[in-house]
Amino acid sequence: MITISQRPLPIDYEERVYAGWLGKCIGVRFGAPLEGWTYQEIRDNLGELDDYLPLPPGKVFKPDDDTAFPMILVRALQDYGPAVSAEQLGETMLNYLGDQRGTLWWGGYGVSTEHTAYLNLAADIPAPLSGSIALNGAALAEQIGGQIFSDIWGLVVPDNPELAAGYAARAASISHDGNAVYGGRFIAGLVSAAFSQVDPQHLIEIGLGLIPADSEYSRVVRAVLDFHAGQPDDWHAAYRFINDNFGYDRYPGVVHIIPNTGVVIMALLYGQGDFSRTIQIANMGGWDTDCNVGNVGAITGVAVGLQGISPKWREPMNDELVTASLIGTRNLLDIPACADLFCALGRQIAGESARPGRPRYHFSYPGSTQGFHQCSGSRGKIISLRQIGTRESNPRARTADGPFDQPEGALQLTVRKLNKKSEVRFFVKTSLRPDELSANYYGASFSPKIYPGQQLRARLFLPPDAPEQLQASLFAWDDNHSETHQSKGHPLQPGRWHDLRFQIPALHNACLSEVGVLLRNLGQPWSGSLSLGSLDWDGSPSFSNDFGLERPEYDAISQWTFLRGFWRLDEGGYHGSGVGVNETYTGDIQWQDYSLSVRLTPLKGDHHNINVRVSGALRSYAAGLAPDGKVVLYRNDRGYRQVSGAAFPWQHGCSTLLTLAARDNGLIVSVDGQEKIFWTDDDQPYRCGQIGLSNFAGCRTCYEFVEIS
């Protein structure tokens, strides 16, 4: 049983969490291209690496399991609370992973530890039995995964290594056991302790106190500590010692935890608390480089803080993070948004009050850009986008209507010679096409983060020395039609903050892949700056889609993710079939009250459904055509259960308009405009979620048209 601590959080908690997760993401990107190489292969082919290998021009760094799976595991705290159990963490894995696709390496049962655990969980073998040595054997259970996903528990539990280790052990136990669980405890404990302890050797001793002294994990840690004590200036000699005494040839399985632990300890000791040096040594050590460099990046990032992480590591990241969960809107993230989530959970665990909500993009973390990009033209150029502190830069700024509570930070746009009647844009990506990723072997797919019908909001500041000739508009880019939707130009007054709003219209067949600010000059050529204090959106979606402009993407179609089944464009519609419960989704998991209407044609089989309030594979409502001439309503709670039904004589090959409306805890099912079912869920109703389409084994359904309002 986890005992929740009431220890106060550090004063600089938020910034250190951001530095730790940033360090993790930097380490993963630095190490990923070398994964599986040995030290000698790296040295012979690339020399002593001290910087990233370049990405293909214009590409976003690929998803990686080292960051993608932690962003799933941490959702268990959101869903179940601070006292989350191993069994609930296993349910979280089932809920947010595609069925044997995305996020992880699916190497086969008995080969991939996580794949094995997933199939065990899906077969109703609960955690921790699902990952145990007793069930799976030591060779499989003691692979590296128990360690590489555990940094997050130290971030949500600062200065409490014992509690962080307890969370890590529960999370690791869903798929691992033995030394792999000890590795999870060790890494989480070091991240937690790094909030108040900088010295790597002291951190390692703290970690050793969290695991059995007679374990193989302790043995490799102690061995590297002893070697370092005798030869503290030669990490190359330490690597040879690890390779000779704890190398891959001595341990079974694909990627055993013990050799890689030796590299982690080596990097921490010989890096001497220097972030760059530590991640460089870990990377040159080879083997599972993204895992090892990610772990030491998280530990050292927390210890040294943002001031200890060089801009050369930060700037190429641009705060962007791609993951690969079942929820498409959560697969295009920014690192500050992850830090916000960790900090909110950390406050909950510590028993502290939640801080007031922040906009999605708030630029409060020093140096953060939150994934913003810029687009210049031939008649004006953006020369920099950088984070600034607004209170220091604009101490007396006001809105056009009076005093204004300024943002904590801002993104400053600097423009050189914007000519008359010219414009520049700065924006964030809200969806990605496959050709925008550097690679995608972990299977990310995306649903847009913003949809037609929602309201876009921003706060802008124009410095006092600027001329009164500039206008700003908010815009959304529809990638399906290559078309911009934008608000009316808002005149900017020098020395003032401005609140801009834009109600994106209801649209048909749109795919909104960018939102941002368009700056236009109506007067003489101008050079200067503009500050964005925040960007956010909310409201109900309003859109329709007949799939006419969608395209095959990510093994399904653009804008839709899927759990399982064979989903494809065919004969003018979106077709689904398969051997199990086949589901596909789009939309935001935070949507609440809405009405979903879908025109569908049942082609084979007797179960053809539409879904609302989808919050993963295990939780949703569905309405569908069912056997014996019925329309039925289901509640999916780790399995579909019929809760209501009505007669409706449907036929194969005949098109039907099916509508499912969710209002508070009431659900209304209509067929061809006629209400058939009204049902109230009075037992822990689902309050929000995506939209979806589904059918059951042996069915094929053609979905022709979707509308949400």
DSSP track, 485-536: EEPPPEEPPTTEEEEEEEEPPPEES--EEEEEEEEEE-SS-EEEEEEEEEEE
Rounded to whole angstroms, the Cα distance separating 534 from 555 reads: 35
The whole-number pLDDT of residue 406 equals 64
pTM exceeds cut of 0.85: yes
Quick: pLDDT tens for 370-406: 999 999 877 889 999 999 986 544 544 544 443 345 6
Q: What's the alpha-carbon Rg for the chain, to the nearest Å? A: 26
**Angle subtended by helix axes 216-230 and 179-193, to nearest 10:** 50
The whole-number pLDDT of residue 572 equals 85
Rounded to whole angstroms, the Cα distance separating 194 from 188 reads: 10
The whole-number pLDDT of residue 408 equals 84
Quick: pLDDT tens for 444-457: 999 999 999 999 99
The whole-number pLDDT of residue 404 equals 45
List of the chain residues with pLDDT < 50: 392-393, 395-396, 398-404
The whole-number pLDDT of residue 6 equals 63
Q: Are 556 and 562 in contact (CB under 8 A)?
A: yes
Q: Which residue has the tokens 């911009």?
A: 484
Query: Per the structure block, which two tokens stand in for 283?
Result: 């990377």
The whole-number pLDDT of residue 360 equals 97
